[in-house]
Amino acid sequence: MVKSAQSSKGRIEKKVLINASPSVIFRALTDGKDLVRWFCDRASSDPREGGELTAHWRIGEAGQKGRAIFRKFLPDSFLELIWVDDGDGVTRENPGHTVSYAIRTKRGSSEVVMTDEDDRELAEETYAFLDQGWNSVLLELKDYCERKERSSKPRPGETAE
């Protein structure tokens, strides 16, 4: 279940509890091979502060590409991306759109707090669309990380190598 915090226009905050380790979640958010399993159709990633993430989505016959820079990168605990191209093909000199993920251990699981902030005022319909979209995206992240965590643990009767 994804919980929404009270948000102002241009700022969306969501929380989701994931039954996976912070390292599995952090890798899912930063590694290109993991990103294509839950977030986009193609990705390239240089996961380090100052590195770039490029994500591609297929939309019908066409495609869309977004580019972000890893602005803050604290392995297994915090990640902040500044989107220099939100997928509209326009590279912004002064980008004002950031997405951050804080990962905390909570009750034997990991709580992920996602914050999407844009310095542009969003129309009410756009805000509602993005708010709902983040619910779906975070549920995909949760599902992927939990499956990955389960598959990495030995089954009863198996021995870990």
pLDDT digits (tens, 9 = 90+) for 105-143: 998 899 999 999 988 777 888 888 888 999 999 999 999
Helix pair 22-30, 124-152: axis angle to 10 deg: 120
Looking at the DSSP bridge assignments, the partners of residue 102 are 78, 113
Tokens of 99: 């997405």
Domains of the chain (ranges; CATH) run: 2-152 (3.30.530.20)
Q: What 3-state DSSP class applies to 44?
A: strand
pTM of the complete model beyond 0.75: yes
